Structure 1
Amino acid sequence: MLRVVRIAGPATLVGVGFAALLVALAIGGGAAPQLLEDPGAVVRFGLPTSTMLVNLAASGMIGALGLVLFAIPPASAAYGRALDVAAGSAAVFTVAAAFTGFFSYLSVTARALSFDDTFSQGLGQFLTQIALGQAWLQTTLIGAVVTVLCFAVRNQTALFFVGLLAVASLIPMAQQGHAAGTTGHDAAITALGLHLIFAAAWLGGLAVIALISRQIETPKLVDIVTRYSSVALICFIVVAASGYVSAELRIGSLDRLLTPYGLLVLVKVGALIALGVFGALHRRFVIKKLGDTGRRRHFWWLIVAELAFMGIASGFAAALARTATPVPETVPATQTAAEILTGSPLPPELTTANFLTQWNFDLIWILVCGFGIVFYLMGVLRLRRRGDRWPWYRTVLWIAGLLMLFYVTNGGLNVYEKYLFSMHMFGHMTLSMAVPLLLVPAGPVTLALRAIRKRDDGTRGMREWILLAVHSRAATVIANPIVAGVLFATSLVAFYYTPLFRWATEDHIGHEWMIVHFLIVGYLFVQALIGIDPVPYKLPYPFRLLLLLATMAFHAFFGLALMSGTGLLLADWFGATGRDWGVSAIEDQQAGGGIAWSIGEIPTFILALVVAIQWSRSDKKETKRRDRNADRTGEAELGEYNAMLEKLAARDGR
């Protein structure tokens, strides 16, 4: 009976998914014949079907790699079976992505399949020159690479990078989702990307557990399911938040929920709520009962039901991509210069009130800051329950740093940085100097290593991965104080005077990369100066001050160069937004140089002060250590030193 249930679980996911897809297409009209240039029934049904196969295969690929990296012991038979599932899913993903790109071409052009040169040339142009075709070509190629790597790679560290590549395969899909080219484009990309990645990890992890369970003994199965349950809770939160953002962008108001698109969204919401209930049952009752009795019957029936609702959600998600949204997604006939460049209307004039009240929310950093605060507090609470102490001021600094990061990535700075270089520079200096100045003294790595439980079954949890990262060769290089200082200083020139600046300004992915880059480089530099977390090498305090002064001098020269410069950086962007308020673009850029020079001096002074205080405390600790050693040994070191001087004097006398 249990064998039938194990087979029925993944089969239920696929079968219910396809049934839900057909129902959703009928409700939303996603496969209805088009009035003009209809591509035919094969394309109308084939495109959403292949899209759903892409989503399901991506789930198997990412879910299997996630379990291999974080949950399954490498020495077990289930480890190899999970990698086989990942490789097979990646192969299906590659083929399904290729078919989706092909069907997309037929849907866009409404051309009949033929084998002449005109058809092949048109398909080649679509895949290499049109954004939609390029996205599916990139997805197919990445899927093919992941397939080969899943067969060839068995080293767990190398598999981590294979997992990152598997996640990256979903990014081109996210960039071509609904709302591309309309207001809310960046928010739509973020929400869809998060939705795809975390839904894949959630769905795929459960399906893979069902497939490989036969190779897992019950005690190990309890451990694996417990670890998966923790990840599933995070996935549930992210999927719910990203789904809400996507629905709000595409529906707009509550009265549009009764449209075909709105009805499909309501069904997905119902499936998500049911999955949340199943997850709560897993965490509260089923896992405990499985561990106490060893019987898997109730556990498997719950998995089958959970996979059925995941199939419903998957089918309706694929149909939603083909359903017209209540909010029109066509580009308006007339657009302002700001809308053409940024996809959003020009914000109101920059005043103190507008700076404090205008918001442009970025879901990625809302979640990062929220999870960062929650996990840190959970770590502190675990230490206190164990009887260990953790300084309160570190907790205050961590929360303050993440709240500052939240405002920089969601508040007035994120509103005006696309139109004012000065606001961009203000955000840059805050990310690279002010935020790390609060986060580094909080000692997050030290807290994680003390609070997270050590594993003894050969798997790598967060503690093991953090230790591996800290002691890796790459960390040894980039955490070196000299290297960190060089990266911090030269990244200014490398960013603002290369195409990276344009990429980060025009492309949303580039913008997110810019935030991560500034944050990491600043964190490494501050860590090299005042960090308490473990690093391979720390400079003596006098050299730390010299490093700080040298780096800040480079910052000052950069700021002065901008202040005195007469050439506008990205003139076709900052000089073409149609801004009719504030100073001119070149004056604003010169003001940005002043910000880089002047505001950067405040964190510099604080850093120098903290280094001096740590230096003084270190000298006091060393003095006390020597005094205790002298009391304990009867000043043996001093006696040996005096004896040595006497011998030298006697030798000189002779």
Structure 2
Amino acid sequence: MNDRSLPPLNWSAAVTEWVWAPVPVVLILILGIWYGRGVRKLWRAGQAWPTVRIVWWYTGLGTYALVTLSAIGAYQSMLFSIRAIQVTTLLMITPQFLAHALPGRLARDTVSAATRARLSGILHSRTSRVITHPMVGAVVLLGTPIALYGSGWYEASLQNPILNEVTQLILLLAGGHYFWTRLQRDPVPELYPHYVSVALTFAEVALDVVIPLGLLMSGTLVAADYYLGLNGAGGLSVETDQATGAAVLWGLGDLALVPFLILSLNQLRRRESAHAAEIDRELDERQRAESGSIGKDRPLPATMRPWWEDDPDLASRFKPAPPDRKTRRPRP
């Protein structure tokens, strides 16, 4: 599916070379129109929808268009390094932008009550709980590129345009599943502690080097016959191209995951602060309830009495006299 009529990649070609890809174009139009209509429906109903979420959504669609329709989309079948940019963006960057726009919450708030009830039943089913478990998301995120680069899938997608489109959609879905279940801001079957997300993200950042190091140290070329058959049409030697691609997978992957790790740590901090505030509020309410229920016949609780009233040596000395006993004056 490579286009040998393309000139070697340079700064001029990076700006002027674009490609027509019907699947991304149609998908971008559908998603863009759907989100815009949903937001407008909420606004007409008097409900608020933050502008920042709109920016997240259309920025995500913009990154999708960039890596499929621009020079990245044009040269992704000719240069391993350019395809690495596309793979990493579709898996880790575009889905993250889209997830921050909370499309699930928008869908929930704009459908009918009957449809919302059906969707809620599906969302909270046992199957959905298994699929959205954090470990499943981690396996999907790390396993998808390993399967892509470690099998014949990669070369087959270069040679088959339909499989190439399917591969791009699989990358988007894998990344979307990961960030949806890990952000936990859209409706999910079950909320998991944020420290689980933080721990898994640390592990994923560390394991993100597996594929790049494997490519650099293996001494073998990915899809060697395919790329050697291009005779350097992209402007780089195959060895240099694949070394550059490995660096792109490593650097761009960390660039996508590290901000998400910082966000997860911030969410953990806010969740812990909210939990501590809730505990303080419950303790205050309990103390007020105890103070309000104290009467003449009920002593102060131990947490509210002076310490000397519980001291065995001092309690009798400071013990108040019974209220019904009158103090007698000594006779002169």
TM class by shorter chain equals 0.7 to 0.9
Instruction: Give the Å deviation of 1:435.
Output: 0.7
Q: What is aligned with 1:627?
A: 280
Q: What is aligned with 2:242?
A: 589
2:113 match: secondary structure = coil
Q: What is aligned with 1:617?
A: 270
Q: What is aligned with 2:149?
A: 496
The separation in 1 between residues aligned to 2:195 and 2:57, in whole angstroms, is: 27
Residue 162 of structure 2 corresponds to residue 509 of structure 1: yes
Instruction: Give the Å deviation of 1:364.
Output: 1.6
The separation in 1 between residues aligned to 2:301 and 2:153, in whole angstroms, is: 62
Q: What is aligned with 1:420?
A: 79
Alignment of 1:177-576 (within 5 A): 342=1, 344-455=3-114, 463=116, 466-467=119-120, 469-576=122-229
CA offsets 1:565-588 (integer angstroms, 9 cap, x no match)? 321111111111133453211221
Instruction: Give the Å deviation of 1:468.
Output: 5.2
Instruction: Give the Å deviation of 1:528.
Output: 3.0
Q: Is the 8 A contact 2:92 2:256 kept in 1?
A: yes
The separation in 2 between residues aligned to 1:574 and 1:490, in whole angstroms, is: 24
Alignment of 1:57-96 (within 5 A): none
The separation in 1 between residues aligned to 2:91 and 2:97, in whole angstroms, is: 11
Q: What is aligned with 1:93?
A: none
Q: Is the 8 A contact 1:545 1:608 kept in 2?
A: yes
Pick closer, same or farther for the CA change 1:632–1:600 going to 2, 3 Å: same
Pick closer, same or farther for the CA change 1:370–1:468 going to 2, 3 Å: farther
The separation in 2 between residues aligned to 1:446 and 1:580, in whole angstroms, is: 46
Q: Is the 8 A contact 1:629 1:635 kept in 2?
A: no
Instruction: Give the Å deviation of 1:476.
Output: 2.4
The separation in 2 between residues aligned to 1:468 and 1:365, in whole angstroms, is: 31
CA offsets 1:146-174 (integer angstroms, 9 cap, x no match)? xxxxxxxxxxxxxxxxxxxxxxxxxxxxx
Match of 1:579 among 232, 244, 249: 232
Alignment of 1:109-188 (within 5 A): none
Q: Is the 8 A contact 1:488 1:522 kept in 2?
A: yes
The separation in 2 between residues aligned to 1:343 and 1:589, in whole angstroms, is: 17
The separation in 2 between residues aligned to 1:488 and 1:429, in whole angstroms, is: 11
Structure 2 stretches lacking a partner, 5+ long: 291-299, 305-332
CA offsets 1:453-498 (integer angstroms, 9 cap, x no match)? 234xxxxx6x566445533444322211101101111222222122
Q: Is the 8 A contact 1:346 1:579 kept in 2?
A: no
Pick closer, same or farther for the CA change 1:640–1:586 going to 2, 3 Å: farther
The separation in 2 between residues aligned to 1:525 and 1:594, in whole angstroms, is: 23
Q: Is the 8 A contact 1:479 1:528 kept in 2?
A: yes
Pick closer, same or farther for the CA change 1:409–1:580 going to 2, 3 Å: closer
CA offsets 1:4-60 (integer angstroms, 9 cap, x no match)? xxxxxxxxxxxxxxxxxxxxxxxxxxxxxxxxxxxxxxxxxxxxxxxxxxxxxxxxx
TM-score (normalizing by structure 2): 0.82
Instruction: Give the Å deviation of 1:640.
Output: 9.6
Pick closer, same or farther for the CA change 1:515–1:547 going to 2, 3 Å: same
Q: Which amino acid aligns with 1:406?
A: A
Q: What is aligned with 1:38?
A: none
Q: Which amino acid aligns with 2:217?
A: S
1:488 match: secondary structure = helix
CA offsets 1:265-301 (integer angstroms, 9 cap, x no match)? xxxxxxxxxxxxxxxxxxxxxxxxxxxxxxxxxxxxx
Alignment of 1:42-61 (within 5 A): none
The separation in 2 between residues aligned to 1:640 and 1:420, in whole angstroms, is: 76
The separation in 1 between residues aligned to 2:113 and 2:302, in whole angstroms, is: 46
Q: How many residues align?
A: 298
Q: Which amino acid aligns with 1:504?
A: S
Higher relative contact order (CA 8 A, sep 6+): 2
Pick closer, same or farther for the CA change 1:348–1:619 going to 2, 3 Å: same
Q: Is the 8 A contact 2:205 2:258 kept in 1?
A: no
Instruction: Give the Å deviation of 1:635.
Output: 5.9
Pick closer, same or farther for the CA change 1:440–1:417 going to 2, 3 Å: same
Pick closer, same or farther for the CA change 1:475–1:508 going to 2, 3 Å: farther
1:388 match: secondary structure = coil
Pick closer, same or farther for the CA change 1:485–1:343 going to 2, 3 Å: closer
Tell me how large the CA RMSD over aligned residues is.
2.7
Instruction: Give the Å deviation of 1:425.
Output: 0.9
Instruction: Give the Å deviation of 1:511.
Output: 0.8
Instruction: Give the Å deviation of 1:417.
Output: 0.8
Q: What is aligned with 2:328?
A: none
Q: Is the 8 A contact 2:79 2:234 kept in 1?
A: no
Q: Is the 8 A contact 1:575 1:585 kept in 2?
A: yes
Q: What is aligned with 2:252?
A: 599
Instruction: Give the Å deviation of 1:424.
Output: 0.8
Q: Which has the larger radius of gyration?
A: 2
The separation in 2 between residues aligned to 1:521 and 1:466, in whole angstroms, is: 21
The separation in 1 between residues aligned to 2:146 and 2:17, in whole angstroms, is: 31
The separation in 2 between residues aligned to 1:565 and 1:495, in whole angstroms, is: 16
Q: What is aligned with 1:15?
A: none
TM-score (normalizing by structure 1): 0.43
The separation in 2 between residues aligned to 1:641 and 1:600, in whole angstroms, is: 57
Pick closer, same or farther for the CA change 1:634–1:426 going to 2, 3 Å: same
Instruction: Give the Å deviation of 1:632.
Output: 3.2
Pick closer, same or farther for the CA change 1:391–1:641 going to 2, 3 Å: farther
The separation in 2 between residues aligned to 1:641 and 1:527, in whole angstroms, is: 49
The separation in 1 between residues aligned to 2:302 and 2:3, in whole angstroms, is: 75
Q: Is the 8 A contact 1:358 1:412 kept in 2?
A: yes
Quote the sequence identity (%).
Answer: 25
Q: Which amino acid aligns with 1:379?
A: G
Q: Is the 8 A contact 2:95 2:175 kept in 1?
A: yes
Pick closer, same or farther for the CA change 1:472–1:575 going to 2, 3 Å: farther
The separation in 2 between residues aligned to 1:568 and 1:641, in whole angstroms, is: 75
CA offsets 1:535-571 (integer angstroms, 9 cap, x no match)? 1233322221210121222221211111233211111
Instruction: Give the Å deviation of 1:617.
Output: 1.6
The separation in 2 between residues aligned to 1:567 and 1:633, in whole angstroms, is: 68
The separation in 2 between residues aligned to 1:539 and 1:563, in whole angstroms, is: 37
Q: Is the 8 A contact 1:433 1:522 kept in 2?
A: yes
Pick closer, same or farther for the CA change 1:580–1:398 going to 2, 3 Å: closer
Q: Is the 8 A contact 1:413 1:427 kept in 2?
A: yes
